[in-house]
Structure 1
Amino acid sequence: MTSSPRPLLGVWTMAAMAQGRFCLLTVFLICILLLARRQAEVISFSKSLRTTRTLSSVPMVEASLDDTGNATLGFEKIYALSLPSRHDRRDGIVLQAAFTGLTIDFADGLDGDSMSEKSVPKTEQNVAAIGGGELGAWRGHANIWREIVQRNLGSAFIMEDDSDWDLRIKRQFRDLALATRALVQPRVVAPGQDEGDELAFDRLPATKPPRHSPYGDDWDIIWAGHCGQVFVEESERPKKRVIQLGDETVPQKKWLSKPFYDPITLKEKYPNHTRAYHHSEGAVCTLGYAVSQRGARKLLNELALRTPVLPCDFLVRVFCEGSQGLGPGTCITTQPPLINSHWPRGPLQDQSNIRLEESGFREKAETRITRWSARINAGVLLGGKGPVDGWPDEV
């Protein structure tokens, strides 16, 4: 009598069912893992969008005020915009940086006439409003904004290659940081109703410590070098200002002059050696300005990708003021400027890469309203002597 195959068939059936359940379980687990991985990627991407830095990708417990005394004045980079052919200006910048303990990288400027016409945003009439040297200057600044964004720099300071500054620049920028914090950082205690528009530099209100920059966490531009600024008076923009009395780096009032504004409120209403810090208004010339990561993104979007209808300094000005469909940006400045143009001895036509129509010869080198000029004092210091005051007090 032969045995029945049913028990063996049952075993095979149970094994097949077990294997099927195992396969289903495996597929289920794989699906769960794939979904979890996908969800993690979504969360990670969302988190990266939320945490992409505006001033720094590596948050600190507190940004130290002492960083203003480092080789980049508390910014991540200092750039000097310079045509490669202007060896004379590059030599001067390097010498000034050496005497003041700064590290400066050169960013190559451009000749506007050599730019590709297709690379310049145009109007409906297929024209750009500026050309030549002005166009090259605009693109040169835009290239630095792009680099700040591309390299994800927390901030950078941009200067032009004819810039000069005081030998005491690090102390000046420390004061600038203190004043800027007072203007942009949240207060520890809310301001009183009778505070007014002026804050005394020696009695600044307590603010929450900044996490990203020694200058504060809520700014786009710090316009330290210019040809003129005015106090915000008429517009709806913030009118708060910080007044610093007794700043020995500021010349006497008789020496204060600006080619674009007269009378000068700082000169008419305040005592000698007064410095003011305030929101930017009416700025002319981009001799030296800091840009945060947030600010660089805004400038790249609003000024580099649109038709340049004005020279670069005026475009930055209208961005700061929030006019002509641009901005508004959070822009802080100081009067008198901390960065000024140096005019060397030599033919006047050599002193500008944009306006070449000047004629004549300058007999004596000069830097406007900069008392201990780093450029002018280079030879003095090399000779082992103390600094010379270019704008001494007169009784």
Structure 2
Amino acid sequence: GKSGIQNSTLGFEKIFYISMPERTDRQDTMRLIASYMDLDFTYVPGVNGSTIVDKALPYDPIKKPPKAPTPAELGCWRAHANIWTEIIQSGITSALILEDDIDFTVGIRDVLTGVSQHLHRLTGASNGDEFGLVDKEDWDVLHLGHCWNERPPEKTHPIASMIYEAWEDEYAPAKEQYVYLVPGAKSQRIRVLQPTYVVVCTQAYVVSLAGAQRLLYHVGGPGGSLYEPIDIVMMNLFQSGKIKGYTAVPSIFSQWKNGDSRDTDIQKA
């Protein structure tokens, strides 16, 4: 078969996607995307948060966080945690995790080839491994799809704020704000990779094996409770340095909506 990023899992060991069991419409769409793009997705059922028993809650039920997670937020956390568990149990080196309303660019393999090359530079990894992952300490999480991000601030993170890779990517949306990072750029279509600091949403992210271990431990596990939605808890872990990773800007994956705002499942209890 094809190797590396050209293969059916885009150079990762697996691609998982989460979808509520009743959303067969979303699963159909994901199957169509997979078939059209010659990709192999592993379906993971979403979790109804109200079915999680007290003993399995990601916080102490006696000392609840000030704003206890809603059933929808609990279900979202558990579905992601189920994937982290699977990664750890199966010893998966890297996995792309998607939500079921994600849209793919037709040029995804070209885009990820650029990401992989520039990650090599950031991690100092040899060119032998996809996405610069040579040992488990290179990165925990790569955010490829998100709804908001900010790089580390210069005042508090003078070194990290200066670390980035930027390149021309014909599939990036034309945005003036990144052109200055690529002197002599012929277009405004610039893609940037930077250390993760502020990032919101979990539409599309990659975890390494070490990343899955750290997330399972710190996000609603023995190392920390789920005191806010999963993406905010993850963001705080990046800011405190407990997990590390990189974010692609602009977001490589976006959310599609088939219908109006009622189409989302995140409010589902």
Which residues of 2 match residues 69-148 of structure 1 at below 5 A?
A: 69-123=6-60, 125-127=62-64, 129-148=68-87
Is residue 2:176 matched to residue 1:296?
no
Whose relative contact order is higher, 1 or 2, with alpha carbons under 8 Å and at least 6 apart? 2
| SS at 1:338 equivalent | coil
Question: Which residues of structure 1 form unaligned runs of 5+?
Answer: 1-64, 186-206, 255-264, 357-395
Shift of 1:272: 1.5
Contact kept in structure 1, 2:34 and 2:41, CA below 8 Å? yes
Relative to total residues, which structure has the larger strand share, 1 or 2? 2
Mapped partners of 2:142, 2:266: distance in 1: 24
Of 231, 235, 238, the match for 1:320? 238
| SS at 2:256 equivalent | strand
Mapped partners of 2:99, 2:132: distance in 1: 22
Is residue 2:261 matched to residue 1:348?
yes
Of 275, 279, 304, the match for 2:191? 275
Superposed CA deviations along residues 4-51 of structure 1, whole A, max 9, x for unmatched, are xxxxxxxxxxxxxxxxxxxxxxxxxxxxxxxxxxxxxxxxxxxxxxxx
Give the aligned partner of residue 339 of structure 1.
253
Is residue 2:215 matched to residue 1:215?
no
Shift of 1:83: 0.8
Larger Rg: 1
Give the aligned partner of residue 380 of structure 1.
none
Q: Partner letter of residue 298 of structure 1?
A: R
Give the TM-score, by structure 1 length. 0.60
Shift of 1:157: 0.7
Mapped partners of 2:118, 2:62: distance in 1: 45
Contact kept in structure 1, 2:193 and 2:249, CA below 8 Å? yes
Contact kept in structure 2, 1:139 and 1:304, CA below 8 Å? no
Mapped partners of 2:81, 2:201: distance in 1: 15
Give the aligned partner of residue 251 of structure 1.
173
Shift of 1:124: 7.4
| SS at 1:290 equivalent | strand
Mapped partners of 1:267, 1:83: distance in 2: 40
Shift of 1:175: 0.7
| SS at 2:33 equivalent | helix
Contact kept in structure 1, 2:54 and 2:61, CA below 8 Å? no
Give the TM-score, by structure 2 length. 0.87
Structure 1 residues 214 and 331, CA gap change in structure 2 (3 angstroms): closer
Shift of 1:130: 0.6
Superposed CA deviations along residues 326-355 of structure 1, whole A, max 9, x for unmatched, are x432211111111110111x24212x1123
Shift of 1:228: 1.6
* Equivalent pairs, count: 253
Mapped partners of 2:140, 2:101: distance in 1: 24
Q: Partner letter of residue 88 of structure 1?
A: D
